[in-house]
């Protein structure tokens, strides 16, 4: 998002203020304090759709790279064109580089649909930016894996606020022709004596603090970290200190996935955090690169397709939600992006018949050491009541300070 002139700066400031206010309100709700909401849960009261009408001719979507493909990246990768022909809803898509950017874009009122990760979904719900979803109007919802439905990041009090897209782990990328031996631990990106100093990348978002916390959780048990999104002051400070020590190793904090792919290809980056879609694109361009889930486990995502509370094209938005979790479309996006699909029937339609086994689509054991992005709150999400945890608003401030130091 680029702001132009004073008007743009004011808009950005307003959105930032609203984001911080929303994060504060989440903390108040979860600690039992009062709120100005219209419901007992603290969530603004927004009516859900009761019935579907004719499509409005368009749908404006913001989402992660690789989630809305129309054949322009690869002619064989297209689950948009058929949708447009079938529904008459033209898809206008903008890639969001981070969850923070997507929250800001949804607050603009210009987008109907968002693919929200767990560190964005609660902010959108409590901010009144998305509406509850009437899943009875989405026929394909019945085939979604049950362990993805009505989870803490996509529902409130048993009410769905979207439909599950799929899930995946944030991976450790390495150039196989340069990084030897192959890494197995996140320690490879925190090693002060790394031979790859200056060629290591990290994801550019406050949520990356959780990656440092996860590594400390596994390697420094005395800190007592049980959940990387529930950090008291001592644990939070230790995570920030680790990131400060890591900073001299970093060549780039990436948010633009295409720039990250280019860095992997050129060799400017040889090691660091990645997504599977980045690996796929880099490989398609001949780059010798792999991505692994290290021995410590990883952070990850379980994304949710959500509808704006101010959607200008609500019928097309619902049509998109039903389409993107249909067996064929969900199989296509899961295989292209490199993740587990949300629709159980998709496993029969992937080109690679081993895809769902490879990505552990219904393997609960695999996901036990994948910590889905979540919104940190003052009330510790690990269940502790004897301390206060650092809320996400403070994560934002600490990350900004780190990046600008």
Which residues, 6 or more positions from 218, have their beta carbon under 8 angstroms from its beta carbon? 295, 296, 297
Please check whether residues 134 and 107 belong to one and the same domain: yes
Count the Cβ atoms, other than its own, within 10 Å of residue 44: 18
**CATH number of domain containing 252:** 3.40.190.10
Please check whether residues 51 and 152 belong to one and the same domain: yes
Please check whether residues 270 and 396 belong to one and the same domain: yes
The predicted-structure confidence for 370-396, as pLDDT tens digits, reads as follows 998 888 888 898 999 999 999 999 999
Q: What is the pLDDT of residue 10?
A: 28
Which residues span the domain enclosing 163? Answer: 5-167+301-372
Q: What is the pLDDT of residue 15?
A: 39
Q: What is the pLDDT of residue 221?
A: 97
Please check whether residues 95 and 56 belong to one and the same domain: yes
Q: How far is CA 144 from CA 77, 119, 164, 341, 361, in A?
A: 22, 21, 7, 9, 11
Please check whether residues 9 and 29 belong to one and the same domain: yes
Please check whether residues 35 and 160 belong to one and the same domain: yes
Q: What is the pLDDT of residue 41?
A: 65
Q: What is the pLDDT of residue 196?
A: 98
Are the CB atoms for 95 and 70 separated by under 8 Å?
no
Q: Whole-number mean pLDDT of the chain?
A: 89
Burial of 85 (0-12, 13-18, 19+ CB in 10 A): exposed
Please check whether residues 143 and 47 belong to one and the same domain: yes
Count the Cβ atoms, other than its own, within 10 Å of residue 86: 11
- Count structural domains, the chain: 2
Across the 405 residues of the chain, what is the mean pLDDT of every consecutive 10-residue run? 28 38 45 42 90 97 95 95 98 92 96 94 93 98 94 92 94 97 98 97 95 98 97 98 98 92 97 90 94 96 95 98 98 92 96 90 88 88 94 95 94
């Amino acid at each position: 998002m680029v702001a132009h002139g004073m008007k743009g700066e004011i808009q950005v400031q307003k959105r930032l203020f609203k984001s911080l206010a929303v994060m504060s309100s989440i903390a108040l709700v979860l600690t039992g304090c009062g709120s100005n909401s219209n419901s007992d849960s603290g969530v603004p009261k927004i009516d859900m759709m009761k019935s579907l009408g004719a499509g409005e001719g368009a749908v404006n979507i913001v989402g992660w790279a690789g989630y809305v493909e129309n054949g322009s990246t690869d002619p064989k990768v297209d689950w948009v064109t058929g949708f447009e022909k079938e529904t008459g809803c033209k898809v206008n898509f903008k890639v969001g580089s981070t969850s923070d950017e997507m929250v800001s874009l949804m607050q603009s009122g210009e987008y109907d649909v968002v693919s929200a990760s767990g560190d964005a979904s609660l902010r959108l719900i409590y901010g009144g930016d998305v509406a509850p979803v009437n899943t009875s109007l989405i026929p394909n919802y019945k085939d979604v894996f049950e362990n993805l439905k009505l989870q803490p990041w996509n529902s409130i009090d048993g009410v769905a606020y979207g439909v599950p897209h799929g899930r995946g782990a944030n991976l450790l990328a390495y150039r196989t022709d340069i990084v030897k031996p192959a890494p197995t631990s996140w320690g490879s990106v925190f090693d002060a004596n790394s031979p790859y100093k200056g060629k290591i990348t990290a994801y550019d978002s406050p949520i990356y603090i959780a990656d440092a916390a996860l590594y400390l959780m596994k390697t420094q048990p005395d800190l007592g970290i049980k959940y990387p999104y529930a950090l008291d002051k001592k644990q939070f400070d230790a995570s920030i200190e680790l990131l400060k020590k890591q900073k001299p190793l970093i060549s780039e904090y990436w948010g633009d996935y295409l720039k990250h792919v280019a860095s992997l290809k050129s060799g400017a980056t040889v090691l660091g955090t990645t997504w599977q879609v980045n690996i796929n694109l880099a490989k398609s361009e001949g780059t010798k690169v792999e991505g692994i889930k290290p021995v410590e486990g990883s952070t990850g995502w379980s994304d949710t397709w959500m509808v704006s509370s101010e959607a200008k094209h609500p019928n097309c938005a619902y049509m998109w939600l039903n389409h993107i979790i249909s067996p064929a479309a969900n199989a296509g996006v899961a295989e292209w992006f490199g993740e587990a699909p949300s629709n159980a029937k998709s496993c029969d339609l992937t080109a690679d018949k081993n895809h769902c086994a490879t990505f552990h689509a219904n393997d609960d054991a695999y996901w036990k050491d994948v910590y889905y992005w979540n919104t940190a709150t003052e009330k510790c999400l690990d269940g502790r009541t004897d301390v206060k945890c650092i809320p996400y608003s403070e994560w934002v401030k600490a990350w900004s300070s780190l990046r600008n130091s």
